[in-house]
Structure 1
């Protein structure tokens, strides 16, 4: 039985985490000259209000440092635990690289580091799958192999009000400059193979909700709704998703401050997992 280690962009709430199965290492962010650690999804305080202030334009995020993983790896190895570390996509953050370096500074034979090629709900689905493999007693090498195959079964679609933050971060370049600035036109974006790509545009709220749903495969077996702050459009997406995928228990997983810095507080979307 191994312990899964992930980063805070998986957005688990504290009560859903069994520390014998899962450890969450924090990313960090700063607003103005004040730095913060991103915690569990139910312990991030009033970050939305902070991001509404004029100083939000000076907001930045930082990957998990090597030391963040190293202390966790050392603790688990003292307990004679094997470790499966699953991180936010290496194409969105340097966190995966930090985990690899940290693993190389301890007994690497007992640690496996896997790039999720995802984040938020996609990452969380994979982490939950990894925890289930551990609970079933699947050996670490076999679990890594199964997890790398399982990556193909998860996806994320979302929309934002403005492309300004994403463009400033350098995490997207394939969407026209006008998208997100022309009145009532909003981008539909996908996390595909670890990067953010365009999924088209939507004109008006109704089409925005419809196109988000159209991106979800009909064979989806799990579905999660993501948002920074609740709003009428989030409610509309929840209702439409329930109507289309009536047999699924659609969970709501709020997005925390690190992704909110890059996406804006009006971001919302869906993550799914198929049965592949």
Structure 2
């Protein structure tokens, strides 16, 4: 336990790889994936591959963690000897998780709790939690920690391409993304989260290959705002495409410090479907 007795709790929607959560002793609470026959915990008892393999038969629903699970996790944190908790969640513009946890936190006794709305998704929000973990490790106090993490939210951005808008539409997560893109023209949107944490079109490009190249250009442009930055390369059942752009992406970003790669969480895969390729950037200075 750190000397400040500060715990860090994240939800599965900000896609922090398991080895990083373990490295920083993060507590995690999974979103829910709901099929007709049963309910699963995101990344705990169902994998992304299993979600994708079942999409042709049934598109499941996703849901917030239950109140009971959140209370159990907070009780565990208290039992482990912590006195304060920083909770970092995916965007309130895409999920009710932030609002639910905030309501519980206000009434919870025995812990000082702060809840951060990253207004972002996947590793775009995950970068903020990882940075918070580093600050805790460095001995930063709770008040400064809250202020710094909140202030630095704008330094993280994620861009992603998807093969089809079908799953965002059916899941009700379409946000400000224009859903009337002409399939005849083969227009592919590059999507991100705006300042309110809602999906929007950053660009529309004809063809898959060109859209991935444009996404890389946008990521490099955002990263150029800082001298150093952390980078993530993520995919949803599109490992080969992600691998094909990896070397060029790293070459184009000489100021990179940390690099994260992997597949998005099962719950996020429900809403994007197979074929997602994404790049996350966090400016660190």
Aligned equivalent of 1:156: 158
Distance, in Å, in 2 between the alignment partners of 1:165 and 1:99 is 26
Residue in structure 1 matched with residue 267 of structure 2 by the alignment:
258
Do the aligned partners of 1:161 and 1:180 also contact (CA within 8 Å) in 2? no
Q: 1:16 aligns with which of 20, 23, 32?
A: 20
CA distance in 2, matches of 1:129, 1:176: 33
1:235 is the counterpart of 2:243: yes
User: How far apart are 1:239 and its partner, in Å?
Assistant: 3.0
Q: Report 1:63-212 matches (<5 A).
A: 63-78=64-79, 79-107=81-109, 110-179=112-181, 181-182=183-184, 184-193=186-195, 194-212=197-215
In the TM superposition, residue 137 of structure 1 has moved relative to its aligned partner by 1.8
Residue 29 of structure 2 is aligned to residue 25 of structure 1 = yes
Partner residue of 2:11 out of 7, 17, 39: 7
Q: Contact 1:155–1:192 (CA<8 Å) still a contact in 2? A: no
Unaligned runs of 5+ in 2: none
Distance in 2, Cα, partners of 1:183 & 1:170: 24
Q: CA deviation at 1:7?
A: 0.4
Task: Give secondary structure in 2 for the equivalent of 1:188.
Answer: strand
Give the SS at the match of 1:112. strand
| Number of equivalenced pairs | 273
Q: What is the RMSD of the two structures over their aligned residues, measured on CA atoms?
A: 2.3
Give ranges in structure 1 of 5+ residues lacking alignment.
none
Scaled by the length of structure 1, what TM-score is found? 0.89
1:143-168 deviation per Cα after TM superposition (whole angstroms, max 9, x unaligned): 11001111010001001111122122
Other structure's SS at 1:5 match: strand
* TM value normalised by structure 2: 0.87
CA drift at 1:118: 1.1
Whole-Å Cα distance in 1 between the matches of residues 149 and 23 of structure 2?
Answer: 20
